[in-house]
Amino acid sequence: GAGVSQSPSNKVTEKGKDVELRCDPISGHTALYWYRQRLGQGLEFLIYFQGNSAPDKSGLPSDRFSAERTGESVSTLTIQRTQQEDSAVYLCASSSIVTSGFTDTQYFGPGTRLTVL
Amino acid sequence: KNQVEQSPQSLIILEGKNCTLQCNYTVSPFSNLRWYKQDTGRGPVSLTIMTFSENTKSNGRYTATLDADTKQSSLHITASQLSDSASYICVVSRGGGSQGNLIFGKGTKLSVKP
């Protein structure tokens, strides 16, 4: 497809379990972002990948959260020992090579709705 | 503290009318400001991106303005349509080299009624 895809679209898990969320960016996009959107709240930045550079992990809320990306392909966001406060929509976005002035347009996926019981 | 505040929280207008959404920010250093449209259950879609030197940018019926001195932006929607019903999110990007430093507002929920 032409857009960013995410899977699964919905995930219900029990507290304490690990979950893995997947993001397929637009082909050729070197930058990839993960965000979290809690109900009624704005998006929170989690992590950013740009090419082969070290990822910007400054938004990860705890060491239970981690993400990987190999090259310019698929990324996975892993949440270990899930807690109820992890319930949110997790959105992935990708963008093409960043131009000077940092005006890259981000293209968002539909998100994964995570519910932790 | 780096914050993006949007107003109003929600807005109901009649089809065909114009409206203006507001965004105030205290983000520093400033790199650019973006407006996104987010339909219910969908990811945000970029409407405009403005850098420090730009004070207005249009995308069809959407016109965004930026006053970097007062740290305010507005999104004006002309001749609203039912399909404009969505949340509109203001996002400010911090400078300093990290592309991950995007500060999101909570959005304005717009409902366009027939």
Q: DSSP letter at A100?
A: T
Q: Please give the pLDDT value at position B110.
A: 97
The rounded distance, in Å, linking the Cα atoms of B91 and B49 is 9
B100, A48 Cβ separation under 8 angstroms: yes
pLDDT above 60: residue B85 = yes
* Nearest Cβ partner for A102 among B89, B99, B105: B99
Residue A101 has pLDDT above 90, yes or no: no
Q: Is the pLDDT of residue A70 over 90?
A: no
Residue B98 is predicted with a pLDDT of 53
- Residue A111: list chain B partners with CB under 8 A: 42-43
Q: Do B107 and A42 touch (CB under 8 A)?
A: yes
Which residues of chain A does B89 touch, with a Cβ-Cβ cutoff of 8 Å? Answer: 42-43
Residue scoring higher pLDDT (A89 or B27): A89
pLDDT of residue A17: 97
For A1-117, strand residue ranges (E) read 5-7, 10-13, 19-24, 31-37, 43-50, 65-69, 75-79, 88-95, 107-108, 112-116
Residue of A nearest to B109 (CA): A40
What would the pLDDT profile of A33-62 be if each residue is shown by its tens digit? 999 999 878 888 899 888 888 888 888 999
| Interchain pair A103, B106: CB under 8 A | no
Return the CA Rg of chain B.
Answer: 14
Note whether A43 contacts B104, CB cutoff 8 Å.
Answer: yes
Of residues B61, B8, B2, the one with CA closest to residue B33:
B2
**What is residue A86's predicted lDDT score, i.e. its pLDDT?**
97
- Assess whether pLDDT exceeds 60 at residue B94: yes
User: Percentage of residues in chain B with pLDDT exceeding 90?
Assistant: 68
User: What pLDDT sits at residue B57?
Assistant: 93
B98 contacts A56? CB cut-off 8 A: yes
State residue B102's pLDDT score.
79
pLDDT average, residue stretch B40-62: 88
Which residues in chain A are contacts of B101 at CB distance < 8 A? 45, 56, 58
Residue A1: pLDDT band with limits 50, 70, 90: low
A95 pLDDT band, cuts 50/70/90, is confident
Two tokens, residue A117: 């019981």
Chain-chain contact of B43 with A41 (C-beta, under 8 angstroms)? no
- The residue of A35, A46, A100, A103 whose CB has the most chain B CBs within 10 angstroms, and thus the best one to mutate to test that interface, is A103
Q: Which residue of B has its CA nearest to A106?
A: B46
pLDDT of residue A51: 81
